[in-house]
Structure formats: C-alpha cells, structure tokens
Amino acid sequence: MSRSPLDPGSLRLAIPRGSLFKESLDHLEKIGFSIVELRQNERKLTFEVGEGRTIIATRPSDVPAYVEYGAADAGIVGKDVLLEHKRNVYELLDLGYGRCRVVFATPADRDPQDEELKHLGVMRVATKFPNITRTYFEGLGKQVETIELRGSIELAPQVDLAEGIVDLTATGETLRENNLVERAEIAVCTARLIANRVSHKLNAEMINELARRLKEVTRE
C-alpha cells in the first residue's frame, strides 16, 4: 500500500525513549517522518524530521509535561504515565502497541489480608506508581502506605520492606521468578497519542491527520 507523507506544516512531537521508542519510530517512518538520525543518535534531544516537523526525544514520564505546557504539540506516551501523572492533555488515540498491565502482586506464600491485619489494616506497598496505587486502594476503601522506589520493585517483599508491590508487567515472568503472585489487575496500558489542548484547536487539521495516519498504520 503506497502512502504519501503528511502535508508540511509546523508540528512538534514528543516521543518517549525506552520500551515504546523503536515501535513509535517504525510507525512514524511509515507515515513519512524522516527518522534515520533518531535511530542513530541516542544523545541528541531534538530532531528535524521533515519540513516544519520536529521530534523531541525524552524520558517517558516527561512527555505529558512537554505536551501540557506547549513545548510539544502532540506526543506518544504509555497509558501508565498518563494515569500516574494526570496531566491536562487531550488523549486522541489508543495506538494499541506496547501493551502491558499495572498489577498488584504479593509473595505467593503470604495472604494479603493477613498482612493488612499485622499492620492494623495498613499495608505497605512498594511501587513506581504512587498515585495509581493510592487511587486503586482508596477505591477499595483500603489504606496503604506507599513506598516509592526506582529500582527493582520485586526486591521489596523479599527484604520485608513492603508486603506487596504495584508494578508493570508484560508477561508475568519477572513476578514468577521472584515468587510473586498477581492479586489484582489495576489497568491495561498501551501507547497513546496525546495533544496539547490549545495546539489541537489551532492546528486541528494537522494533528487530526497525524492521528488518522497513525491509526491506519498501527491497525495493519
């Protein structure tokens, strides 16, 4: 199927380095973005990818901030980041790739309810997602003490830092390797196309066309 590039215009797009990076580049290339330099240069932060088009490559958690404050007109980011940071952006499209889940897990040989009783109903939960964790347990009417970590979350129950964890999983293999059992699925997450609300009003034609073309190639 032949495709013509998007019409030239001024557009800044923020994309996340990390797990979504390669597949995002693959899809952008299919719709006419020149992404050769992005594949080759891991240190550069901004790239000219066509007439009037710029890509900002940054850490995943920063993408919504760049979009909310107008440094980027649109961005690609995981749903987990959107749920955690709750930025004021317009979520345009579920791109469908990069599927993973946010889950609550505890050691296989421990009962979560027993652990709550040990701490007078307050369970310690280690996570990289404190906001998602608090929102989930508050919705259940339960109190938790969140311990925010940036390293290997699975270690926390092994050294009695926490009774359970809330983390991302794709296959569940890492959980099993660390004797952890999934107790609840909190959210299913995929890559999303987001837009700055003002940019979407002023540049609606181009941003909607970007969404249309990405939807086309990600559904193939």
Q: Above 50 in pLDDT, residue 167? A: yes
Domain assignment present for residue 2? The answer is no
Q: Are residues 113 and 133 in the same domain?
A: yes
Residues 6+ apart with CB under 8 A from 27: 95, 97, 214, 217, 218
User: Residue 109, class by beta-carbon neighbours within 10 Å (0-12 exposed, 13-18 middle, 19+ buried)?
Assistant: exposed
Domain assignment present for residue 183? The answer is yes
Counting residues of the chain whose pLDDT is more than 90, the rounded percentage is 77
List, in sequence order, the alpha helices (H) in 41-108.
63-68, 79-85
Domain assignment present for residue 4? The answer is no
Q: Are residues 150 and 94 in the same domain?
A: no
Q: Above 60 in pLDDT, residue 1? A: no
Question: Which pLDDT score is estimated for 4?
Answer: 45
Domain assignment present for residue 169? The answer is yes
Taking only the tens place, the pLDDT of each residue in 43-84 is 889 998 888 899 999 999 999 999 999 999 999 999 999 999
Domain assignment present for residue 1? The answer is no
Counting residues of the chain whose pLDDT is more than 70, the rounded percentage is 91
Q: Above 80 in pLDDT, residue 6? A: no
Contact, 210 vs 193, CB < 8 A?
yes
Q: Are residues 206 and 137 in the same domain?
A: no
The strand pairing partners of 167, in sequence order, are 103
Q: Are residues 110 and 181 in the same domain?
A: yes
Q: How many domains in the chain?
A: 2
Domain assignment present for residue 3? The answer is no
Q: What is the pTM of this model?
A: 0.88
Question: Which pLDDT score is estimated for 124?
Answer: 92
Q: Are residues 130 and 149 in the same domain?
A: yes
Domain assignment present for residue 44? The answer is yes
Question: Which pLDDT score is estimated for 118?
Answer: 60
Question: Which pLDDT score is estimated for 62?
Answer: 96
Helix (H) or strand (E) holding 114: helix 112-118
The mean pLDDT value for 119-148 works out to 90
Taking only the tens place, the pLDDT of each residue in 173-198 is 999 999 999 999 999 999 999 999 99
Q: Above 70 in pLDDT, residue 9? A: no
Question: Which pLDDT score is estimated for 114?
Answer: 61
Q: Above 70 in pLDDT, residue 32? A: yes
Q: Are residues 141 and 111 in the same domain?
A: yes
Q: Are residues 92 and 121 in the same domain?
A: no
Q: Are residues 109 and 53 in the same domain?
A: no
Single-letter residue type at 191: A
Domain assignment present for residue 76? The answer is yes
Question: Which pLDDT score is estimated for 213?
Answer: 95
Q: Are residues 198 and 165 in the same domain?
A: no
Q: Are residues 93 and 32 in the same domain?
A: yes
Structure tokens belonging to residue 57: 């490559």
Q: Are residues 127 and 173 in the same domain?
A: yes
What mean pLDDT is reported for the chain? 90
Q: Above 60 in pLDDT, residue 120? A: no
The CATH number of residue 143's host domain is: 3.40.190.10
Q: Are residues 47 and 150 in the same domain?
A: no
Structure tokens belonging to residue 97: 């790739």
- Residue 147, domain extent: 100-188
